Structure 1
Amino acid sequence: MSTIKLGNPAVVGLSGFGLTTLLLQFHNLGWCGLGPIVAMAFIFGGLAQLIAGFMEQKTGNNFGFAAFSTYGAFWIGLGIIWLLNYFKVYTSSTTDVGFYLVGFTLLTLIFWIGSLFIHAAMSITFTTLALGFILLDLAHFGFPEVTTLAAIVLIICAFSAWYMMASIVINDVAGREILKTGKPWIKKTSKLL
């Protein structure tokens, strides 16, 4: 039996998710251009999250495996859409991107349900993520005025993801619980047979 302590891949996944989400919202608020977000979409939001997801699979964490792999693929896919638009290989309309977002909204709602059984910080992250996706869906289907509200909600989501990352890192190095993540919003029942 190995006594080597392994790192928690969630710290990388949550870091990448939070940073890329935060940068995109800065863009959505008109504070920065798309260049930094494209770079992060491929590297930190995309590749790093995919790696974190694959590492979560090795720990037996289906939620982390599915979530990090899904959002890693989301960011890489979005980066490809932006590049295809930029180079005029295939220009996606606002509605095209809207349908892309709707697909990920539906997946997010599945993760949101799962998050309710984990802890409060996870529930807050996925509640704000689901709400942010819904608002972005609306923005892409004729209600662009909700983009600012979506950006604010998703900035909260990004900081919530970073809080979870910080709780894992700080609690580990401190050897005690300094940052609490809260109780699950829905209590688990007995294990499946």
Structure 2
Amino acid sequence: MRTARRPDATTADPGLIGLLGFVIATLTAQLAHLGVQNESAVFWVGAAFGGIVQVTAGMLSYFIGDDFHFIVYNAFGWYWICMPGFLLGGELGFFEVSGPAKPLFMMIFSILAFGFAVAGSMHNTVLPVTLICVGIGLGLESAGAFGGGEGFGVVGAWFLIAASALATYMLIEKFYWRTMGRHVIPLGRPWIAGSADIES
């Protein structure tokens, strides 16, 4: 465990709740995808933790001038507000989403995740790997929904569970660094030089 002087901060880091929201919502959704639980939990947990919490983290990032987390948390936060809406529409038959709309929506966010991974690679090693897992996972689930291949969706779910585990790893490091000034686990060096931010 390395001890270092944490940079003086006048505000809390919104990434703490952003990562927490991502972890809980993603894990809940993938457990439902694998048949461990039903989709009712996905509606409530996805909308609250995945949606409201991540959008809040994204908007708070705006006020500290953090463009990367502003767009990443907002993008996936609104994704998690839309996805439970798709579920609700299907249950109520109100603005029901059918056909290729849902898998196309997932594919768009798969592509976004790969794009975010490029910028994330200026922060550390774990962040871009996490985003790559998100991109692969969403892409496979989208492909499974388009082609009816259940196997694609299952493999995609496991990639997203891996992304949730990696986000938990980053959350542990960020939490102890921000609250105790201690680096407890390594995040790895950035893949692309240019950022002094060693955090996620």
Among 35, 38, 46, which residue is 1:33 paired with? 38
1:153 equivalent to 2:159? Answer: yes
1:165 alignment counterpart? 171
Normalised TM-score (structure 2): 0.88
Identical residues among aligned pairs (%): 24
1:187 equivalent to 2:193? Answer: yes
1:68 equivalent to 2:73? Answer: yes
Alignment RMSD: 1.6
Q: How far apart, CA to CA, are the structure 2 residues paired with 1:173 and 1:26?
A: 31
Aligned length: 187
The structure 1 segments of at least 4 consecutive aligned residues displaced by more than 6 Å after TM superposition are none
Q: How far apart, CA to CA, are the structure 2 residues paired with 1:94 and 1:26?
A: 24
Q: How far apart, CA to CA, are the structure 2 residues paired with 1:89 and 1:121?
A: 40
Q: How far apart, CA to CA, are the structure 2 residues paired with 1:175 and 1:89?
A: 50
> Structure 1, residues 8-41: CA drift from partner, whole Å, max 9, x if none?
1001000001110001110111000111111012
Residue type matched to 1:62 in 2?
A: D
1:23 equivalent to 2:38? Answer: no
Q: How far apart, CA to CA, are the structure 2 residues paired with 1:83 and 1:26?
A: 19
2:3 alignment counterpart? none
Q: How far apart, CA to CA, are the structure 1 residues paired with 2:9 and 2:119?
A: 30
Q: Which stretch shifts more, 103-112 or 148-157? A: 103-112
Q: Which stretch shifts more, 71-80 or 86-95? A: 86-95
- Secondary structure (helix, strand or coil) at the match of 1:183 reads coil
Distance 1:90 1:157, change over 3 A: same
Shift of 1:94: 5.1
Residue type matched to 2:50 in 1?
A: G
2:14 alignment counterpart? 9
Among 102, 107, 128, which residue is 2:133 paired with? 128
Among 173, 177, 189, which residue is 2:183 paired with? 177
- Secondary structure (helix, strand or coil) at the match of 1:141 reads helix
Q: Which runs of no fewer than 5 residues in structure 2 stay unpaired? A: 1-7, 196-200
- Secondary structure (helix, strand or coil) at the match of 2:75 reads helix
Shift of 1:5: 3.4
Shift of 1:139: 0.8
Normalised TM-score (structure 1): 0.91
Q: 1:108-147, aligned counterparts within 5 Å? A: 108-142=113-147, 143-147=149-153
Maintained 8 Å contact 2:142/2:153: no
Q: How far apart, CA to CA, are the structure 2 residues paired with 1:5 and 1:132?
A: 37
